Chains A and B, each alone.
Chain A
Amino acid sequence: MGFSVTTLIFAMVGLIASLSTRICFNKGPSANLLHLTLVMTATVCCWMMWAIVYLAQMNPLIVPILSEGE
């Protein structure tokens, strides 16, 4: 699974999460905006962390050197 596919998956998950928050916790437009912001922030944070770790491993400059006795 490449980078873009997983990014798309993150986006989908974010969308589904915000929709379900809208359905379950519908409390007026200002509260909805807050919930949306929170879900978006969480999605972006999680995606960023995954993307950083993924990109760092795509073209590695350091390779694992096993220690003796493994």
Chain B
Amino acid sequence: MSENGGTSMDLLRSEAMQLSQLIIPIDSAHLAITYLGHLGLIQFNDLNAGKSPFQRTYATQIKRCGELGRKLRYFKVQMSEAGLEPLARSGTGSDLNVDDLEVKLGELEGELTEFVANGEKLQRSYNELVEYQLVLQKAGEFFHSALRKATVQQRESGSGHGGESSEAPEAPLLEEQELNSDQYKQVKLGFLTGLVPKGKSMAFEKMLFRVTRGNVLLRQSFVEQPVVDPASGEKVIKNVFAVFFSGERVKSKILKICDAFGANRYPFSEDIGKEAQMMTEVSARLSELKITIDAGISQRKNLLHNIGQKYEQWNLMVTREKSIYHILNMLSIDVTKKCLVAEGWSPVFATPQIQEALQRATTDSSSQVGGIFQVLQTKESPPTYFRTNKFTSSFQDIVDAYGVAKYQEANPGVFTIITFPFLFAVMFGDWGHGICILLATSFLLIMERKFSNKKLGDIMEMTFGGRYVILMMALFSIYTGFIYNEFFSRPFELFSSSAYNCRDPSCRDATSVGLIKVHNTYPFGVDPVWHGTRSELPFLNSLKMKMSILLGVAQMNLGIVMSFFNANFFRNGINIWCQFVPQIIFLNSLFGYLSILIIIKWITGSKADLYHVMIYMFLGPTDDLEENQLFSGQKVIQLLLLVLAFGSVPWMLLPKPFLLKSQHNNRQHGQSYATLTDESLQSEINHDSHAQEEFMFSEVFVHQLIHTIEFVLGAVSNTASYLRLWALSLAHSELSSVFYEKVLVLAWGYNNVIIRIVGVFVFICATVGVLLVMETLSAFLHALRLHWVEFQNKFYEGDGYKFNPFSFTLIANEEE
């Protein structure tokens, strides 16, 4: 593979790449890899591919980095829970090394976990106390109401009984009964108080009833605000309950049921005085706890704030360390010589930079031995590397999405930069819409610096990434808008007055036979008179279809010429004579001829129907032309072109496989002669014959057959495919016209202000939604297809792999 003589063109072919070997002493290895990571121009090959991750040299280091990463993620979670955002990367700050960082992170993690655990404990106690307070309040109400009723009853009965019962209402009601009833059966009336979630309260009641066979009394009271449940930490609506029962076994059953339903129980004393005391105690403790909790939260926030300051920096460091160790793991270790051997692809122009980085690493780590850089010879195919800037990178991405270029083959991206926006504009052509898109994309360009650091959503990210593509699309759309003479579907007489006028001053025939062309052709673009006429569509359709064919044939010819440049570069004479030449002849003798006929018809104004010309060229080439005649000598030329076209098909098909076979045989013979004369070449030849594939003639022939059929059929189908330029352009102008006439003009016709405003609003929404968004995407897609299929299948192989260097900036971008 040799280069062209003279200046090469940027971006046309991949940068020259070389496989290089680096020998680095162990003590400067870490630094060397760091500097190479900053440089970002070398793609390391994995020399330890056979080993599992645990067998590699630096596995422990990676585990350490993994631990640090985990700690940092934990911090991030805590920070986001507390509502803090880590600050953006602020300079380099102090460069801690990994060991110090490990210690510091361990400390911080311990502190933070402690804070979190304490906070949780305190919060739980707080919640329990809140619930206890509620129980005291509500259960207290039960007893007070019962007491009140009892007092009332007592008074009533007391007035009846006179002074017989001198009991106070507070006296336990059952003491009397106890004395009266059987002595052995000690029936104790107990009660339990607590809180149960409202949703479960019905089930709770039923269960209690069933289990105790109805021998309980349950009082429930509704709590209005939801309470934070101590166990789950969520806010639940609960009911305060008090259950009264008798007997020990019943008590244990009820306890189990309470636990099953998640009802929290709290002690309650009957004594009113004690109850009031408890209330004040609980309130005091609550306020105390609140202060403690708040203090804890603010302390934690402080800690997190401090972490947040340094977070991004630490994160970056840990990521970098991890990636460095991954790379170090890929190097093969040579223990005897105490050095690491690295193998990788790098561009040829980067050689001095890599050597300089190695040198710096040696001096910075004060190592005795310097690193060695040497180039290896290999037959492997190198990765493809294009040096793109922010303008060309988006176009290159479009091409790469289809397939990365093979090493040093011609890059369609060069022409895509111009032809892609151009074909888009052919389908979009309206300078009003073009200006809208230009404004939108200039907003993106003005905010470029700010947006490139911010994290945007998916769609916004894609739009921002393609801002230069959209800029070019907008500029070309404005140009084609002027050519089609459409400003939101309105034509303007910008360059001169219309070329057409009435046949006679009274303009009687204007609506039946039409106008005639009296002045010179309208100098730039479509004549403004056409819009709104009855014959607008036949004229524009004819114009746009023919334009599509002409542009299509031009782009396809460009594609075939690119294949010539490829064949020339790779010194592949067979491809030039047996592929390029017959392909050009075939395409141009049929479709190139059609293009010329179109132009001749336009220039001469002949009324010949080109369909008939082409059809009879094939069906009756020797017949007389009569009305199909466009220029003299046409019959002879058509016969000649037909012969050329039919002749080029076997020319594409047959010679190449035979020539390849004879080439292969020559090489074999050459090698067999070599073994007779020189023994030392034996190893080289064995290597060669291993690398060389078997030559299967049938396979090569079938491959060539498929290629030929694809090209011949493709010539017709691809040319027709370019008619989508016409189709989308028609759709765009019709939609635009409909929105203008049927929405804006219609609404403006009414004198009502509200209808006018609504009409304008609907017009704007429809224009933006349908024309600016949907049509843009549609035209983008079709222009892309035309490039990927019709243009690139003439020459592009696209089976290379992309250069993926070890670079800290790339890793940082990947993280985000």
Task: Please list the residues of chain A having a beta carbon within 8 angstroms of any beta carbon in chain B.
Answer: 1-2, 6, 29-31, 33-34, 37-38, 41-42, 45-46, 48-50, 52-68, 70
User: Which of B426, B539, B551 has the most chain A CB within a 10 Å cutoff?
Assistant: B539
Closest to B429 in A: A49
Chain A residues with CB under 8 A of B599: 55
Q: Is the CB of B414 within 8 A of A50?
A: no
Closest to A30 in B: B10
Question: 3 nearest interchain CB pairs?
Answer: A59-B605, A65-B514, A63-B514
Closest to B538 in A: A62
Supposing A34-B12, A67-B532 touch, asked if A60 and B539 sit within 8 A by C-beta, the answer is yes
Chain B, residues 514-536, CB within 8 Å of chain A (1/0): the string is: 11110011111111011011111
B483 interface residue (CB < 8 Å to A): yes
Chain A residues with CB under 8 A of B543: 52-53, 56
From the candidates B414, B500, B524, name the one contacting A64 in the complex (CB within 8 A): B500
B7 interface residue (CB < 8 Å to A): yes
- The smallest C-beta distance from A41 to any residue of chain B, in angstroms, reads 4
Closest to A3 in B: B521
Supposing A63-B514, A63-B516 touch, asked if A58 and B547 sit within 8 A by C-beta, the answer is no
Chain A residues with CB under 8 A of B535: 62-65
Name which of B221-229, B417-425, B755-763 contacts chain A.
B417-425
Q: Is the CB of A56 within 8 A of B510?
A: no
Q: Is the CB of B534 within 8 A of A67?
A: yes
User: Which of A1, A42, A56 has the most chain B CB within a 10 Å cutoff?
Assistant: A56
- The smallest C-beta distance from A56 to any residue of chain B, in angstroms, reads 5
Supposing A50-B483, A53-B547 touch, asked if A65 and B604 sit within 8 A by C-beta, the answer is no
From the candidates A37, A41, A54, A62, name the one contacting B542 in the complex (CB within 8 A): A62
Q: Is the CB of B480 within 8 A of A64?
A: no
From the candidates A37, A49, A57, A66, name the one contacting B9 in the complex (CB within 8 A): A37
B499 interface residue (CB < 8 Å to A): yes
Give the complex CA separation of A41 and B533 in angstroms: 35
Supposing A34-B10, A60-B517 touch, asked if A66 and B533 sit within 8 A by C-beta, the answer is yes
Give the complex CA separation of A21 and B65 in angstroms: 50
Give the complex CA separation of A34 and B9 in angstroms: 6
- The smallest C-beta distance from A40 to any residue of chain B, in angstroms, reads 9
30 inter-chain pairs at a CB distance below 8 angstroms, sorted by A residue, are A2-B520, A30-B7, A33-B8, A33-B9, A34-B10, A37-B414, A38-B414, A38-B417, A41-B419, A42-B422, A45-B418, A48-B551, A48-B554, A49-B480, A49-B551, A52-B550, A54-B523, A55-B602, A57-B521, A57-B527, A58-B602, A59-B603, A63-B517, A63-B535, A64-B535, A65-B511, A65-B515, A65-B533, A66-B515, A68-B511
Chain A residues with CB under 8 A of B523: 1, 6, 54
Supposing A64-B500, A65-B534 touch, asked if A55 and B517 sit within 8 A by C-beta, the answer is no
- The smallest C-beta distance from B364 to any residue of chain A, in angstroms, reads 32
Supposing A63-B535, A67-B532 touch, asked if A45 and B422 sit within 8 A by C-beta, the answer is yes
Which B600-650 residues sit within 8 Å CB-CB of chain A?
Answer: 602-605, 607
Q: Is the CB of A67 within 8 A of B511?
A: yes
Closest to B599 in A: A55
B204 interface residue (CB < 8 Å to A): no
Give the complex CA separation of A58 and B529 in angstroms: 15
Supposing A34-B9, A53-B526, A60-B517 touch, asked if A67 and B550 sit within 8 A by C-beta, the answer is no
From the candidates A58, A63, A67, name the one contacting B603 in the complex (CB within 8 A): A58
Q: Is the CB of A30 within 8 A of B9?
A: yes
Q: Is the CB of B605 within 8 A of A61?
A: yes
Closest to B513 in A: A65
Chain A residues with CB under 8 A of B514: 63-66
Closest to A34 in B: B10
Chain A residues with CB under 8 A of B90: none
Chain B residues with CB under 8 A of A38: 414, 417-418
- The smallest C-beta distance from B280 to any residue of chain A, in angstroms, reads 83
B11 interface residue (CB < 8 Å to A): yes
Chain B residues with CB under 8 A of A50: 483, 524-525
Chain A: interface secondary structure?
Answer: helix
Give the complex CA separation of A34 and B417 in angstroms: 11
Chain B residues with CB under 8 A of A64: 500, 514-515, 527, 529-530, 533, 535-536, 539
B512 interface residue (CB < 8 Å to A): yes
Chain B, residues 478-518, CB within 8 Å of chain A (1/0): the string is: 01100100000000000000011000000000111111110
Chain A residues with CB under 8 A of B480: 49
- The smallest C-beta distance from A55 to any residue of chain B, in angstroms, reads 4
Q: Given A33-B9, A34-B11, A64-B515, 17 other A-B contacts at CB below 8 A? A: A2-B520, A30-B9, A34-B9, A53-B543, A54-B524, A55-B599, A55-B602, A56-B542, A56-B547, A57-B499, A60-B539, A61-B607, A63-B500, A63-B517, A65-B535, A66-B514, A66-B533
Q: Is the CB of B534 within 8 A of A57?
A: no
Chain B residues with CB under 8 A of A37: 9, 414-415
Chain A residues with CB under 8 A of B326: none
Give the complex CA separation of A38 and B543 in angstroms: 27
Chain A residues with CB under 8 A of B515: 63-66
Chain B residues with CB under 8 A of A68: 511
B656 interface residue (CB < 8 Å to A): no
Chain B residues with CB under 8 A of A45: 418-419, 422
Q: Is the CB of B547 within 8 A of A67?
A: no
Chain A residues with CB under 8 A of B483: 49-50, 53
Q: Is the CB of B510 within 8 A of A52?
A: no
Closest to A59 in B: B605
Which B652-705 residues sit within 8 Å CB-CB of chain A?
Answer: none
Give the complex CA separation of A45 and B476 in angstroms: 10
Chain A residues with CB under 8 A of B554: 48
- The smallest C-beta distance from A66 to any residue of chain B, in angstroms, reads 5
Q: Is the CB of B547 within 8 A of A49?
A: yes
From the candidates B516, B532, B546, name the one contacting A56 in the complex (CB within 8 A): B546
Give the complex CA separation of A31 and B526 in angstroms: 37
Closest to B516 in A: A63
Give the complex CA separation of A66 and B498 in angstroms: 14
Chain A residues with CB under 8 A of B527: 57, 64
Chain A residues with CB under 8 A of B533: 64-67
- The smallest C-beta distance from B653 to any residue of chain A, in angstroms, reads 33
Chain B residues with CB under 8 A of A62: 535, 538-539, 542
Give the complex CA separation of A2 and B524 in angstroms: 11
Which B1-52 residues sit within 8 Å CB-CB of chain A?
Answer: 7-12
- The smallest C-beta distance from A21 to any residue of chain B, in angstroms, reads 13
Give the complex CA separation of A32 and B597 in angstroms: 37
Closest to B550 in A: A52
Give the complex CA separation of A57 and B515 in angstroms: 14
Q: Is the CB of A53 within 8 A of B525?
A: yes
- The smallest C-beta distance from B426 to any residue of chain A, in angstroms, reads 7
User: Which of A34, A41, A50, A64 has the most chain B CB within a 10 Å cutoff?
Assistant: A64
Supposing A59-B603, A61-B607, A65-B535 touch, asked if A31 and B512 sit within 8 A by C-beta, the answer is no
Q: Is the CB of A41 within 8 A of B418?
A: yes
- The smallest C-beta distance from B144 to any residue of chain A, in angstroms, reads 91
Q: Is the CB of A46 within 8 A of B534?
A: no
Q: Is the CB of A66 within 8 A of B510?
A: yes
Give the complex CA separation of A28 and B163 in angstroms: 121
Chain B residues with CB under 8 A of A46: 422, 479
- The smallest C-beta distance from A54 to any residue of chain B, in angstroms, reads 6
Give the complex CA separation of A29 and B10 in angstroms: 9
